[in-house]
Amino acid sequence: MAVELLTRHPERLARVVAHEPVLVSLLPDAAEQHTFFSQVVSTFHRAGVDAAMAEMGAGCGEERGEEPDLSGLSPRMLATLSRVRGNSAFFLGRILGQFSAHAPDLAQLDASAGKLVPAAGWASYRLRLYRPAAWLAERYGVALAEFPGGHVGVVTHPREFALELGELLR
């Protein structure tokens, strides 16, 4: 996670665009957020990848009707997406629980906050993964950078997402 890298090694980074970071531990209802992600992990162990991913998508506010148009993607990118899908069991079983429970060292993050750009997708407004980015923007008194699409805007709107990211990194 780039935010954690920023807290530990800020000298190695010029800027971090934190797009909908799963830093739910920062939220006032952190216990509820942790329960949600724990339930997703339990669903994975009980009912498998598809059930857990559906539960996570619904709980994070993803609209199921907006399937990304993959027709313009290169064979290399399609292969990458296939590998990501193939890694879902590992992610759900071994990473999601710890990842979603992470709380950054705020004193360390405060010291490097000038390098942090909190960001969210416009379609995620007020949803579960939008909220930590908004919390960070409020804490540091900066505007929340807005990207096209939702949490996976990089897949649903790749060109527009890349253009916005390029602008923020300049």
Q: Can you give the CATH number for the domain in which 116 is found?
A: 3.40.50.1820
Q: How far apart are CA 121 and CA 161, in angstroms?
A: 9
Three-class secondary structure of residue 158 per DSSP: helix
Tell me if 20 is assigned to some domain.
yes
Which amino acid, one-letter code, is at 99?
Answer: F
pLDDT at 70: 72
Tell me if 6 is assigned to some domain.
no
Q: What range defines the domain where residue 130 resides?
A: 15-61+71-169
Tell me if 4 is assigned to some domain.
no
Tell me if 111 is assigned to some domain.
yes
Residues of the chain with pLDDT under 50: 65
Q: How many domains does the chain have?
A: 1
Tell me if 139 is assigned to some domain.
yes
Using a 10 angstrom Cβ sphere, with 0-12 exposed, 13-18 middle and 19 or more buried, the burial of residue 120 is buried
pLDDT at 81: 78
The count of other CB atoms within 10 Å of the CB of residue 164 is: 19
Tell me if 121 is assigned to some domain.
yes
pLDDT at 37: 97
Tell me if 10 is assigned to some domain.
no
Give the CA angle between residues 157, 160, 162 to the nearest 5°: 100
Q: How far apart are CA 86 and CA 105, in angstroms?
A: 32
Tell me if 7 is assigned to some domain.
no
**Nearby residues of 42 by Cβ (< 8 Å), 6 or more positions away:** none
pLDDT at 65: 46
